[in-house]
Structure 1
Amino acid sequence: MRFFKINTMLLVGLISNALFAQIGVKHGSDDNRSSWGINPHALYVDVIAPEHGMADPHAWVQNDTVYVICGHDESWEGKGSFRMDRWEVWSSTDLKNWKHHRNIYPSQTYIGNQPNCWAGDITERDGKFYWFFSNRNKNTGVMVADNATGEYKDLLGKPLLPEGIVPVHPYDPEVFVENDVYTICFGAGTYYMATLSKDMKSLASEPKAITVIDEKGQSMKTEDKSTLFKRNGWYYLVFGSRYAMSKNLYGPYEFKGAFLKGGHTSFFEWKNQLYVLQENHDISAFYRGASLKPVFFNKDETIIVPKEDRMYPAPGRPFEFKNSTMGWNALGGTLISYKEGKLMGTITAKNAVVQSAPWLYTETKLCSKITLKIKNNSQAKELKLALFTRNYSKNFWSTETGQVDWSKQEWITIPIAAKDASFKIYTIDLNKFKNRNELLMQLAFQLEADKGSWEIDEVIIN
C-alpha cells in the first residue's frame, strides 16, 4: 500500500537551516550516537496514510523496520468529540510505503465496546512488545504481544494507571528507555513520571510531578500527550507544538517555545536521522492524519523551526478525492458516489445542498479563494457556495458543530457553463463573503437544477 507525498520545498528550507549535531534516539540514548550532518536525503511526507483517519501515531524501530500504532477516528462526520473506535498497527521499511497489519479493538481490553482509543506508546522489553494505551482521558492500560505487529492481549484486565493515582487525569502515556530503565510519563496540565517494574504491569516508584518553567521562571501548564527524546545530554519534552529541555529526565524543564506545527508527536531515529511523526488535520480536526518530518538543531541544542513549516494541510485545504469522498455528502436531492478519483452526484431535486466534512478547522486569515474543478452535466447555469465559520473559544473542543442550517448562511452565486463535456475551473474570492470568523469549519454548494449530474475533480481552499 503506497501513500506518500514528499514536500521538497519544506525539505530545502529545513536543510538550509540545519547544523551538524550529535543526536540520540526517541526512547533514550547513551549519548554516543553517530555524528549527524545536514542530510539532503531526509524525507518529509505530508500524510503517510491519506484519507484514513489516522491519529496519535506512536513509533518503534526494530530490525530496519519502523512500526507505528495509531488511533483511528471513528467518522469524518464529527459525531462526537474525538470518538476513536480502534488502534491500528502499521509498518514501513522505507518511510514511503506503509503496510497495515491489524486492528486492536477496545473490546480486546478492559475498556469494552467504547470508542475510547486515545493515545499511547509502544516499546519492547526482553523480546516482548508492550502497547500502553489511553482509555480516553480516564486512565491508562497495557497490552503485550510476542512481536511488534501483535496479536496484543490485555496484560492486566484493568488500568495500570487508574483514576486517582495522581491529581490529574492519568492518560496519554509515553515510555522512555535509558540504561534499561523504563520510565512512563503521563497526564495533562502537569506531567507525572514513574519507573515501570520489570514485569511492565506495575510501577516500581511513586509518580513524581514534572515541573516546566516558563521564560518568567514560573511553573506552567502543559498540553496532553507528552513525548521524550535525548540528545547530547539534553532531555527534550515535547507537547504538541511546544517543547522544553532539561539536563535531568525528571526536570525541572525549561520551556523553549515553538516546536514544529502539528498535534501529538512521536520521535524515532532512522538511518542516522531523527524524525517525528506528528498528527495533522488531513480531512478535518476529527478525521486526522500523520505527517513525517525530519528534526534539526541549532548550535545551542534548541530545535530549528523553519519558516516553511506548517501543519498539514495549512495554509489552505485540498480536496482531491484520490481515495475517497473525503467526507462530502448531500442533504437530500443529490445521490453522492465516488469513482476513479472523482466525487459524483446525480441530481434528483432542486437546490440540493452538497457539503464537506465538518470541523475543517482552517484559519480563514490564511485563505483567499476557493477553486472548484467541476463538470456540470446539468442545465444549471449558476453555482452557489456557502461557508460555515466560527471563532476560537475557551470551550472550543467541548462544543459540537451539529448540522449546519445552511439556509441561514451567506451564499455567493457565480455563473457556470451548462451541459459540460469536460471539466472547467471556477474560482470564488473569499472577500465576497461579508462575515467570516476565524476558522472555516465547513463549506457547501448548490447547483440550480432539478435533474442531471455533476462530477468534481477537486476543491482547493488556498
Structure 2
Amino acid sequence: MRNLMILIATTMLVLSCKNSNKKKEEDSSHYSSENAVYIPNVFPEEGLTDPHVLIDNNRLYLFCGHDESWNTEEDWRMNRWEIRSSDNLIDWRKEGEILPTQTYIGDKPNCWAGDITKRDNKYYWYFSNRNHSTGVMVADSPVGPWSDPLGKPLLPAGIVGKTHPYDPAIFEENGKYTIFFGAGKYYAATLAENMISLDSDPKLIKVLGKNGKEMGTQDKSTVFKRNNIYYLVWGPKYAMSKNLYGPYEFQGAFLKGGHNDVFQWKGQWYAFIENKDISLFYRGVSLKSIHFNEDGTIRIPKDDKGYPSKGRQWDFKHSTMGWRSKQGTTLKWDKSGCIKGDIKGEAIIEGAVWTSANLSQADSIIVKFKNLSSATKGRISIASHTLGNRFWKHPEIDWDKELKIEFDIKPNNSELQVLRFKISDFGKVEESLKRLRIDPALGVTSGKWEVHYISVE
C-alpha cells in the first residue's frame, strides 16, 4: 500500500511538472497569460494613437492623440487629444477632448504625443506641440476641464541644443516627478513641486549598446520600474538600468508596434501600443500583456506581431474608411459589409497611401466583388516603394510605371465573384505597399459595382 501511494504521488508530481512546463511554453509563445487581456486593435477606424495611461480610483483613463484624416498623404496631422476610460480594459466610454486651441499651440494640427500624471489631487497633461516643444495643462479631474497655466512651452525649442524637446514621459517615485523627452537622444529633468516648471537642468540619458558604446534611440520614450530595475522603452526596443538617469543597457526587442505606454492593471503588466490601423497617418492602438524572465528581461512571445501583420485586409465592416473614389464613380458604404458605387465615367477607386503592408511577405491579392455593369474586364494597380529615410515626403505616384493586374470578369452578374492573383505572375514590386488602385469596370461609363473584401496576403 505504501509503495502504491508513493507511485501515485510520483506520477502526480511528474504530471504536474509536465503541465507546469507546458504552461511556461504556452506563456512564452503567446501574447497573454490565462487571465490577461489581448486586443489587437482597441478602437478600429477611430484614428486614436499615442496612448498614455492614468489609473485613478480603480478606473483607467487613456489619453490618445487623434489623427485628423485617413486621407493624409505626407505628414502626421493630429487635430486633438481624446480621453477614454474603462474599468475592465474591454468596454470604453469617451470622456472628452482637449483641443489645441485650449493651449498655446492655437489652431494647428500639432497634437502629438504626451503623458498624464496626478499630484495632490491635481491632474497634469504634458503634451507635444508637434516636434517643436512641450507644454503642460492642469485640471481638477482626469476628464477636465483643462487649462494651460503657462500659455507657453514648459520645454521650449533649444532647451537642450539640437534635440527637439517633445514626446514627454513622466516618471514618479517617492513623490519626485521626472520628465523624459527628446528624440534620438533622451534628456530628463526633475519637475518642480508646482509641476509647471523644472527643478533641475535637463540631463542627457545615455543608452549603451552591447559593445558598451553610446547608441541612438527614437522619439517617444516610455519609462517604468519593476523589481528595482528601470526600463526605458522606445517603440519596439528597450534598455534597462539600476539608476533612473542611467546609463541604460540596450537589451533588444520590445513588443512590436510604435509609441507605447506601460502600466500595471490588477497585478498584470500591459502595454498600449500604437499600430497602423489604416495607414502610416491614420493609426490605432493595440493592447498586449507583458511578461518577464527571471533576470528581469522582457519575454517576447514567439508569435508577437504588429497590427496589421503580413499584408493588409479590408472587410468594410464599419465604413468606407481607407478607400475613396478617384474618378468616374460614387463610393459609399453598405451596412452589409461592402463599398459600392454608381459608375459615371472611367471609374477608379483607390486606398490610403502608406498602408504599411509588407509586400516582401505577401504574394497574393484577393478581391471579392459584384460587377453590375456590362464590363468584361477589371484592373488592379499596385504602387510599391522601398522604406527609407523620410520616405513619406514623396506620396506622388506615376501609375503608368506601377504594376498592373488586368483580369476578366462576368458582366451584369449579381453573384459575388472571388478572384485571387499571385503578384509575381504579373511582375516585381518593392518591399512595401504604397497605394492600391482598382478600376472595377474597364471600358464602360455606366452601371454599378460592389467590393466586399480586399486582401494583400
Per the TM superposition, whether the score is higher than 0.5 is yes
User: Match of 2:411?
Assistant: 418
1:125 to 119, 125, 148: 119
The alpha-carbon distance between structure 1 residues 15 and 87, as it changes in their structure 2 partners (threshold 3 A), is farther
2:185 to 178, 185, 190: 190
Deviations 1:181-201 (A, max 9, x none): 111000111111111111110
How do 1:94-113 residues align onto structure 2 when only pairs under 5 Å count? 94-113=88-107
User: Match of 1:323?
Assistant: 318
How do 1:443-454 residues align onto structure 2 when only pairs under 5 Å count? 443-446=436-439, 447-448=441-442, 449-454=444-449
Question: In the aligned structure 1, how far is the partner of 2:40 from the partner of 2:371?
Answer: 31
User: Match of 2:6?
Assistant: none
Determine whether 1:376 maps to 2:371. yes
Q: What one-letter code is carried by the residue in structure 2 that aligns with 1:276?
A: A
How do 1:56-455 residues align onto structure 2 when only pairs under 5 Å count? 56-167=50-161, 168-340=163-335, 341-350=337-346, 352-397=347-392, 399-402=393-396, 404-446=397-439, 447-448=441-442, 449-455=444-450
Question: In the aligned structure 2, how far is the partner of 1:148 from the partner of 1:396?
Answer: 38
Q: Which runs of 5+ in 2 are unaligned?
A: 1-22
Deviations 1:405-452 (A, max 9, x none): 323323111222222323232112111231211111110111223211
User: Match of 1:8?
Assistant: none
Q: Which moved more, 1:432-441 or 1:250-259?
A: 432-441
Contact kept? 1:52, 1:289, Cα under 8 Å: yes
Q: What one-letter code is carried by the residue in structure 2 that aligns with 1:261?
A: K
The alpha-carbon distance between structure 1 residues 52 and 205, as it changes in their structure 2 partners (threshold 3 A), is same
How far off is 1:14 after superposition? 8.5
Give the TM-score, by structure 2 length: 0.91
SS of the equivalent of 1:407 reads helix
Contact kept? 1:383, 1:413, Cα under 8 Å: yes
Deviations 1:161-203 (A, max 9, x none): 1111112111000000111111100011111111111111001
Share of identical aligned residues, percent?
Answer: 47
SS of the equivalent of 1:323 reads coil
Contact kept? 1:370, 1:461, Cα under 8 Å: yes
Question: In the aligned structure 1, how far is the partner of 2:319 from the partner of 2:448?
Answer: 19
Q: What one-letter code is carried by the residue in structure 1 that aligns with 2:156?
A: P
Question: In the aligned structure 1, how far is the partner of 2:125 from the partner of 2:427?
Answer: 50
Deviations 1:7-65 (A, max 9, x none): xxxxx99953189xxxxxxxxxxxxxxxxxx8302111111110111121111111222
Contact kept? 1:412, 1:432, Cα under 8 Å: no
User: Across the two proteins, how many residue pairs are aligned to each other?
Assistant: 430
Question: In the aligned structure 1, how far is the partner of 2:180 from the partner of 2:43?
Answer: 28
Question: In the aligned structure 1, how far is the partner of 2:55 from the partner of 2:25?
Answer: 23
User: Match of 2:16?
Assistant: none
Question: In the aligned structure 1, how far is the partner of 2:304 from the partner of 2:29?
Answer: 13
Contact kept? 1:13, 1:308, Cα under 8 Å: no
Contact kept? 2:124, 2:138, Cα under 8 Å: yes
Contact kept? 1:49, 1:98, Cα under 8 Å: no
Question: In the aligned structure 2, how far is the partner of 1:151 from the partner of 1:314?
Answer: 39
SS of the equivalent of 1:364 reads coil
Deviations 1:233-292 (A, max 9, x none): 110000001000000000000000111110001011111111100001000011000000
Question: In the aligned structure 2, how far is the partner of 1:59 from the partner of 1:174?
Answer: 11
How far off is 1:322 after superposition? 1.8
Q: What one-letter code is carried by the residue in structure 2 that aligns with 1:134?
A: S
Deviations 1:91-118 (A, max 9, x none): 1122112222222111110001111110
The alpha-carbon distance between structure 1 residues 291 and 186, as it changes in their structure 2 partners (threshold 3 A), is same
Contact kept? 1:225, 1:264, Cα under 8 Å: yes
Question: In the aligned structure 2, how far is the partner of 1:104 from the partner of 1:128?
Answer: 17
User: Match of 1:17?
Assistant: 28
SS of the equivalent of 1:40 reads coil
Q: What one-letter code is carried by the residue in structure 2 that aligns with 1:315?
A: K
Contact kept? 1:18, 1:304, Cα under 8 Å: no
Question: In the aligned structure 1, how far is the partner of 2:82 from the partner of 2:317?
Answer: 22
